[in-house]
């Protein structure tokens, strides 16, 4: 509801690949969807097997906190950035330009950072050690996609090169 209020139409644009989406990005997104499905299947199966009732409150609450922080960061990024589509492309049809406020003043890719936190909250939320594996496999699409998106935007989006010099952190401040 927050994102729909802040950026009407964004959620609808996120449901399809926009014109000009590279083939490699479509492949990365297909992999991302498979990882997400696997994460929930493994977490549900393993969590129910390990804890037929419910995981211990400390584990479940830690997972809920990580999941919530991740969701909040993704929603904040989407609410701030009307160009937060599901695929990488230059969105000339909607006046694409650099966003450097909100979480984008701190991180180049706050939505991806939020996803990392979100994905690692799920195994705890379900009480599943095995779900850490598909959560970690999400990094196999998220890190290359972050690098590819950065390269794409540096070349194609006017002003992004200056923005990337000002905001050096891509996913984790002080690390990368």
pLDDT of residue 109: 98
- Both tokens of 116, joined, read 């990392």
| Residues 67 and 122: beta-carbon distance below 8 Å | yes
Looking at residue 100, what is its pLDDT?
98
The DSSP call for residue 92 is: G
Which pLDDT band, with edges at 50, 70 and 90, does 139 fall under?
confident
| Segment 5-34 mean pLDDT | 91
Residue with tokens 């984790």: 172
The per-residue DSSP string of 100-114 comes to -SGGGGT-S-HHHHH
Average pLDDT over residues 74-97: 95
Q: Is the pTM of this model over 0.95?
A: no
Distance CA 134, CA 117 (A): 14
């Amino acid at each position: 509801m927050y994102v729909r209020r802040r950026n009407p139409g964004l959620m609808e644009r996120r449901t399809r690949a926009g014109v000009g989406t590279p083939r490699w990005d479509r492949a990365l997104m297909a992999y991302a969807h498979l990882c997400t499905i696997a994460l929930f299947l493994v977490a549900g199966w393993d969590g129910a097997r390990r804890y037929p009732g419910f995981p211990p409150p400390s584990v479940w609450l830690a997972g809920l906190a990580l999941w919530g922080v991740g969701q909040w960061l993704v929603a904040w990024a989407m609410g701030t950035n009307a160009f937060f589509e599901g695929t990488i492309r230059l969105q000339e049809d909607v006046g694409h330009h650099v966003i450097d406020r909100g979480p984008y003043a701190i991180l180049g890719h706050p939505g991806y950072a939020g996803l990392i936190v979100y994905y690692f909250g799920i195994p705890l939320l379900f009480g599943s050690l095995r779900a850490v594996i598909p959560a970690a496999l999400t990094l196999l699409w998220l890190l290359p996609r972050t690098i590819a998106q950065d390269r794409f935007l540096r070349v194609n989006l006017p002003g992004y090169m200056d923005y990337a010099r000002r905001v050096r952190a891509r996913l984790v401040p002080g690390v990368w």
